[in-house]
């Protein structure tokens, strides 16, 4: 230990003498591989302690991603975390269960002919969106080539409130993003003025079922009708991909009559994140095409495992298979009624919280959680100049709650909102205490006699 003081604590973790063993190093290097190893108990304790400052997942109201599964799911997980999803020849049953998984989802999304639908599991919605976008692009290219036209300038139309995965898609695959900005009159992308954005180079339109910023559904039917009108006027037949990362596992249970899915013929493909409201641990997503014809054959790699013909369409090769089993477990365990009850419980909590927040005179609701159980609010105009929602977010963090504040997307980015994502596990009891904490912290901030200094730097995490 004598040289501890000469060594930078930035570079080493010092091992607590209580659990270091005789002869073991008392320092563990962070940035280079140590010469010698250590006992598993010691290494475990170091990693365990290093993560202590992470937030408490149950109090993290920023994430959409599941943070709890029951003991039977955990048992299945522990039995299967060695399975690689791509090894379909070694794990034919896991491959078969993946097939059951997307077929069940195709059915939930009202595919007109589920035997003709095609789907796959993915690592999450981001990969699923990339695959959906690639299929749109390839089909457009094929049609253009057949017509002897240029394929140089594909574009994709979406709201400015898309999740970053669509920006990535456009960036990585050289597609021009055409963002439809939001406005106070059109606070959600609703197909208004769509004709101004569409042209012969448009590969598709993305509609979001559960906007990440506010939890609201974009009206897929209305967007489809705007595209029907464009087709009548111009002959351009533009498909829709629905990014139902969250709503894909909410709408079938809570809003079964809402038309957003394969009941709309223009909807070619849909994705969801199983690790969000699918209730599975990260990372699993699904993407389904209404008909196999919509997924160009030249994007699919065929592997002759299982003595048959196994199509694969994925960005990664190896990927955990355990989550696919967890999803099937939940489908069996919960059934429609189980999912409905769980999603309804989350929605009840979201509506309770949004109502409570709307009753505080400091706030004005943006959305109330009646689409997905996610809602956002802003400071009521004229309420205060002394503090912002960023300050409230800081105060809540000091009480253990992670409730992010952020600017809205273009053209509403002068508006700051704060958002709560209600997930399974956020009980009414927790909601009541959160509401009390919010009201207490607002009362505290309202007492300030002058403005809080604004942060000049964002809070960082320290190595």
Question: Residue 367 to residues 290, 350, 352, 373: CA-CA distances in angstroms?
Answer: 31, 10, 13, 10
Q: Does 287 bind ligand PLP (CB under 6 A)?
A: no
Binding positions for ligand PLP, 300-319, rule CB under 6 A: none
Q: From CA 463, how far away is CA 460, in angstroms rounded? A: 10
Ramachandran angles phi, psi of 416, nearest 5°? -100, 135
Element containing residue 439 per DSSP (H, E): helix 428-446
Q: Does 208 bind ligand PLP (CB under 6 A)?
A: yes
Q: How many CB atoms lie within 10 A of CB 3?
A: 8
**Nearer to ligand PLP among residue 120 and residue 126 (C-beta):** 126
Question: Binding residue for ligand PLP (CB under 6 A) from 27, 108, 157, 165?
Answer: 165
Q: Does 124 bind ligand PLP (CB under 6 A)?
A: yes
Give the residue from 283, 269, 183, 160 showing the smallest Cα distance to 220.
269
Query: Among all residues, whose Cβ is closest to ligand PLP?
Result: 124
311 DSSP β-pair partners: 302
- DSSP string for 14-72: EPPTTTPPTTS-SEEESSS--SS---HHHHHHHHHHHGGGSPPGGGB-S--S-----HH
3-state secondary structure (DSSP) of residue 122: strand
Element containing residue 302 per DSSP (H, E): strand 301-303
Question: Binding residue for ligand PLP (CB under 6 A) from 248, 252, 285, 409?
Answer: 285
**Nearer to ligand PLP among residue 73 and residue 372 (C-beta):** 372
Window of 145-153, 206-214, 302-310, 445-453 that interacts with ligand PLP by CB under 6 A: 206-214
> What is the end-to-end Cα distance of the chain in Å, rounded?
21
Q: Does 246 bind ligand PLP (CB under 6 A)?
A: yes
Give the residue from 218, 220, 124, 126 showing the smallest Cα distance to 171.
126
Question: Binding residue for ligand PLP (CB under 6 A) from 212, 343, 347, 418?
Answer: 212
**Nearer to ligand PLP among residue 133 and residue 239 (C-beta):** 133
Rounded to a whole number of angstroms, the minimum distance from the CB of residue 408 to ligand PLP is 15
Q: Does 245 bind ligand PLP (CB under 6 A)?
A: yes
- DSSP string for 358-402: HTSTTEEES--SSSSSEEEEEEPTTS-SS--HHHHHHHHHHTT-B
Window of 149-157, 208-216, 351-359, 394-402 that interacts with ligand PLP by CB under 6 A: 208-216
Rounded to a whole number of angstroms, the minimum distance from the CB of residue 261 to ligand PLP is 15
**Nearer to ligand PLP among residue 273 and residue 343 (C-beta):** 273
Q: Does 27 bind ligand PLP (CB under 6 A)?
A: no
Q: Does 163 bind ligand PLP (CB under 6 A)?
A: yes
**Nearer to ligand PLP among residue 137 and residue 275 (C-beta):** 275
Number of residues that bind ligand PLP (CB under 6 A): 15
CB 211 within 8 A of CB 218: yes
Q: 282-315: buried (b, 16+ CB within 10 Å) or exposed (e) per residue?
A: bbbbbbbbbeeebbbeeeeeeeebeeeebeebbe
**Nearer to ligand PLP among residue 19 and residue 173 (C-beta):** 173
**Nearer to ligand PLP among residue 420 and residue 442 (C-beta):** 420
Q: What is the dihedral of CA 112, 285, 103, 339, to 10 degrees?
A: -90
**Nearer to ligand PLP among residue 163 and residue 269 (C-beta):** 163
Question: Binding residue for ligand PLP (CB under 6 A) from 273, 323, 343, 354?
Answer: 273
Q: Does 126 bind ligand PLP (CB under 6 A)?
A: yes
Q: Does 159 bind ligand PLP (CB under 6 A)?
A: no
Residues engaged in binding ligand PLP (CB under 6 A): 64, 124-126, 129, 163, 165, 208, 210, 212, 243, 245-246, 273, 285
């Amino acid at each position: 230990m004598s040289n501890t003081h000469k060594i930078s604590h930035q570079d080493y973790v010092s091992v607590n003498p209580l659990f270091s063993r005789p002869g073991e190093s008392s320092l563990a290097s962070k940035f280079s591989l140590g010469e010698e190893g250590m006992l598993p108990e010691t290494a475990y304790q170091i990693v365990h302690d290093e993560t202590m400052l992470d937030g408490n997942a149950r109090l993290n109201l920023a994430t959409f991603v599941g943070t709890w599964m029951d003991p039977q799911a955990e048992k299945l997980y522990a039995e299967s975390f060695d399975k690689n999803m791509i090894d379909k020849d070694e794990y034919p049953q896991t491959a078969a269960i993946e097939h059951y998984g997307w077929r069940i989802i195709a059915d939930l999304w009202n595919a007109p002919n589920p035997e003709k639908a095609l789907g796959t599991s993915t690592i999450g919605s981001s990969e699923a969106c990339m695959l959906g976008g690639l299929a749109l692009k390839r089909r457009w290219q094929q049609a253009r080539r057949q017509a002897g036209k240029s394929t140089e300038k594909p574009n994709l139309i979406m709201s400015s409130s898309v999740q970053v995965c669509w920006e990535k898609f456009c960036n990585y695959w050289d597609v021009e993003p055409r963002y439809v900005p939001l406005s106070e009159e059109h606070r959600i992308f609703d197909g208004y003025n769509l004709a101004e954005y569409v042209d012969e180079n448009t590969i598709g339109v993305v509609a979001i079922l559960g906007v990440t910023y506010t939890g609201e559904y974009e009206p897929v039917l209305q967007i489809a009708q705007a595209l029907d009108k464009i087709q009548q006027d111009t002959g351009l037949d533009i498909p829709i991909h629905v990014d139902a990362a969250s709503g894909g596992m909410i709408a079938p249970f809570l809003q079964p009559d809402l038309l957003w899915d394969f009941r709309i013929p223009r909807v070619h493909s849909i994705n969801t994140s199983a690790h969000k409201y699918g209730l599975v641990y990260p990372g699993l997503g699904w993407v389904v095409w209404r008909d196999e014809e919509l997924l160009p054959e030249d994007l699919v790699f065929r592997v002759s495992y299982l003595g048959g013909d196994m199509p694969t369409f994925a960005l990664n090769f190896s990927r955990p298979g355990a989550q696919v089993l967890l999803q099937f477990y939940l489908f069996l365990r919960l059934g429609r009624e189980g999912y409905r009850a769980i999603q309804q419980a989350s929605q009840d909590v979201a509506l309770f919280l949004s109502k409570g927040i709307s009753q505080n005179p400091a706030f004005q609701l943006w959305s109330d959680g009646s689409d997905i159980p996610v809602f956002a609010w802003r400071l009521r105009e004229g309420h205060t100049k002394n503090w912002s929602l960023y300050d409230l977010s800081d105060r809540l963090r000091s009480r253990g709650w992670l409730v992010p504040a952020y600017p809205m997307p273009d053209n509403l980015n002068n508006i700051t909102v704060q958002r709560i994502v209600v997930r399974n596990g956020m009980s009414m009891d927790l909601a009541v205490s959160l509401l009390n904490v919010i009201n207490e912290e607002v009362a505290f901030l309202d007492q300030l006699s002058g403005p809080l200094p604004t942060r000049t730097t964002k809070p960082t995490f320290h190595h």
